[in-house]
Amino acid sequence: GWQAQGGVLAGLGSDEGRNALDFMNKARAAEEAGQSSTALKAYTVVVKKYPNSIFAAEALYHTGLIYQKRQQYYKAFDTYQSMLGRYPNSEKFTQVIGEQYRIASLLAEGQRSRIWGMFPGFRNREKSIEYFEIMVRTAPYSDYAPLALMNAARGYKKISEEEAAIDALDRMINTYPRSALTPDAYLRIAETHASLVDGPYYDQAATKDAITYYEDYMILFPSDIGGMATAEKGLANMKQVLARSKLTMGEYYYKYRKNYQAAKVFYNEAITVYPDSEVAAEARTKLAVIDAVLQRQSGNASANPEPAAPAAAKKKRFGIF
């Protein structure tokens, strides 16, 4: 059990101090004996009646541990959060953040919080995302914050909230640029943008964003051999889509608008985007066809010059009567 030494009971009367210490020791004895309900009641008395004592934070910590052991994950997390909010200078701050991370991770994996410690509730992966975000706000400089953001992004993606996943990964990259997780964050944000691409016939904003992050990753982390192959493959796929989009636009102007100059612009852009691709080869073939058409048109114009206007018409045109 606990013992009162020095000034640990400062601010409490002698009777109150002894009572707080007695309740803590009763709670600890009950906890060790497996009598969790009895222990919870005793710890609750300490928190409510002696909130200014050194025991209050410890009582909240052990209350959270009991709830966690009983798989009452929601109550455990909230109890830990109450402790962090009320006693931010506690020596167990980092330890409590770690317990919160374990709870959020279990929920993300599909674990179910128990009702009254007996009946399993529903799976709630959204709650895990909420908990990860709370951890980032509560302890932004802890070692768990980058992990929490990465897991939040993974959770958002699982529930098809890609924009929220991108936001979480973007915060990860900008807030923790030196984290060991940052290279993986660049890959994940590139892949998430790529998942939003609908093909060459649609808006290419997501494609361009994916290309940017793949290229940034390859520039910033050239020694990260494990992810380089993934980045190269992803970049090639995105460039293929973007180049195909340019080729499609060129086809539209060539076939339906007969605007050969505009078509040439898009064909050249397709080549610039991915010069060594099959799409670029197609674009070069299309450019050759357009050049041939323009050359024929120029030849026809030279062979059939505009006939000279009659003298009377010339006088009338220039106002001579």
pLDDT digits (tens, 9 = 90+) for 185-215: 999 999 999 999 999 999 999 999 999 999 9
Residue 173: per-residue pLDDT: 97
What is the Cα–Cα distance from 125 to 118, expressed in whole angstroms? 20
Strand boundaries in the chain, DSSP class E:
112-115, 119-123
Describe the chain by its helix, strand, coil percentages, rounded to 5: 70, 5, 25
CA distances from residue 10 to 20, 45, 257 in whole angstroms, order as listed: 12, 18, 87
pLDDT-derived band at 118 (thresholds 50, 70, 90) equals confident
Q: What is the pLDDT of residue 308?
A: 56
Do 279 and 270 contact (CB within 8 A), yes or no?
Answer: yes
**Of 45, 51, 62, 47, nearest to 96 (Cα)?**
62
Distance of CA 127 to the CA centre of its chain: 16
Q: What percent of the chain has pLDDT over 90?
A: 81
11 pLDDT above the threshold of 50? no
- The phi and psi torsions of 265 (rounded to 5 degrees) equal -60, -50
Closest to 65 in 3D by CA, of 55, 51, 79, 84: 79
Q: Is residue 318 predicted with pLDDT exceeding 70?
A: no
Q: Sorting pLDDT into bands at 50, 70 and 90, what band is 53?
A: confident
* Contact (Cβ atoms closer than 8 angstroms) between residue 267 and residue 287: yes
Is the model more confident about 110 or about 299? 110
Name the residue with higher pLDDT: 115 or 93.
93
The whole-number pLDDT of residue 290 equals 95
Per DSSP, what are the bridge partners of residue 115? Answer: 119
Partners of residue 112 on adjacent β-strands: 123
CB distance 206 to 193 below 8 Å = yes
Q: Which residue has the tokens 């990753």?
A: 217
Q: How confident is the model at residue 306 (pLDDT cuts 50, 70, 90)?
A: low
The whole-number average pLDDT for the span 155-161 is 96
CA distance 131 to 76: 12
Token pair of 308 as six digits: 């000279």
- Asked whether residue 7 carries a pLDDT value surpassing 50, the answer given is no
Percent of the chain with pLDDT over 70: 88
Is the per-residue pLDDT at 310 higher than 80?
Answer: no
- Reply yes or no on whether the pLDDT at 74 is more than 70: yes
- Average pLDDT of 241-267? 96
* Buried b or exposed e, range 4-37, using 16+ CB within 10 angstroms: beeebbeebeeeebebbbebbebbbebbeeeebe
**N-term to C-term CA, the chain:** 122
Confidence of residue 5 (pLDDT cuts 50, 70, 90): very low
| Per-residue confidence band for 279, with pLDDT thresholds at 50, 70 and 90 | very high
